[in-house]
Amino acid sequence: MLFTGIMSKRRIYLYCGIVVFVVMTWLFSNTGEDHEAFSETAKIALRETGHQLLYSNQDSTSLVLPIIALNKSKYQLSFEQELSFLPNVLVSIMDESIKKAALPEHYRVEVIQCSDQEVAYSYEITGSEESTIIPCAGRFLTQKCYTITVKFIGRSGFYFSTQTLLLILISLVLIFVLDYLNHKNKLVTTVEKTYEKYDAIGSFQFYPEQHKLVKQAVEISLSKKECELLAIFIASPNQIIKRDELTKKVWEDNGVFVGRSLDTYISKLRKKLKADDSIKLTNVHGVGYKLELNY
């Protein structure tokens, strides 16, 4: 309820705009740097995979060729010499290298024959055993020239770090707190300004908008018609206000007027003003009423 009270539609739109602005600013300013860091890590992991695959093939002399980034999420591993291996060995080595480098655990691997660019073997790891696909893991791949491509599935060019997300969250919280404090200060200022609008009547302070009289921190509630009548008397102190004028201004557009209504409200006002002897609401017989201020 507090949140709903504070957040008007306009303020919600403002916060949404700020969120979009912060995120878009971060994306455009950090995409290059984050992608470069991801690419370097991916290349290190794939180079380690290549070396371990050569060792499993009893090859400790030939080289792993430079890792090629085919796009922002796909990388190619190739070798100086031909090799042969069991697919399950590749699966195990690749999985260990990717986990050690803390790379995304959803990826697809293709083993491609250099001679005709046909896919000799492929599999997909999703991080879930139910959806992971590893076919024919025990079928031996004969000695040939192969390239191995790894595509990280679902990875866009944007890579959010925990620190960055935390920074964005802290920034939004600070914006909310500062805006809340500013909004609260404005409400207090508005209330203070509203309470400054009063008319002095002897020792009373009359607040027409709040329908009350205040005397030494004691509040006296007034009805709407009592406020309207008192406002008329204050506008013309020590002057006779005719009954017809009072009834016309207070009751003409406010429903049915009963003959004794004016006298009843005048009597109520007298009781509420009697705490100050310098104020008298007197009846001028046959004419009207007068607010006498003796100070």
> What whole-number distance in Å separates Cα of residue 194 and Cα of residue 4?
24
pLDDT digits (tens, 9 = 90+) for 108-117: 999 999 999 9
Tell me the fold of 199-293. Answer: Arc Repressor Mutant, subunit A (1.10.10)
Contact 51, 133 (CB under 8 A): no
**Lowest mean per-residue pLDDT among 61-75, 163-177, 240-254:** 163-177
pLDDT digits (tens, 9 = 90+) for 125-176: 987 777 777 887 678 899 999 999 999 987 544 445 556 667 777 877 777 7
Residue 1 has pLDDT above 60, yes or no: no
Alpha helices in 197-223, H assignment, sequence order: none
pLDDT grade for 15, boundaries at 50, 70 and 90? low
Do β-strands 204-207 and 212-215 pair in parallel, antiparallel, or remain unpaired? antiparallel
Residue in 218, 177, 212, 171 with CA at minimum distance from that of residue 194: 212
pLDDT of residue 215: 87
Average pLDDT, integer, range 75-100: 93
pLDDT digits (tens, 9 = 90+) for 196-237: 578 888 888 888 888 888 888 788 899 988 999 999 998 999
Contact 28, 20 (CB under 8 A): no
- Comma-separated ranges of CATH 1.10.10.10 domains in the chain: 199-293
Do β-strands 146-152 and 199-201 pair in parallel, antiparallel, or remain unpaired? unpaired
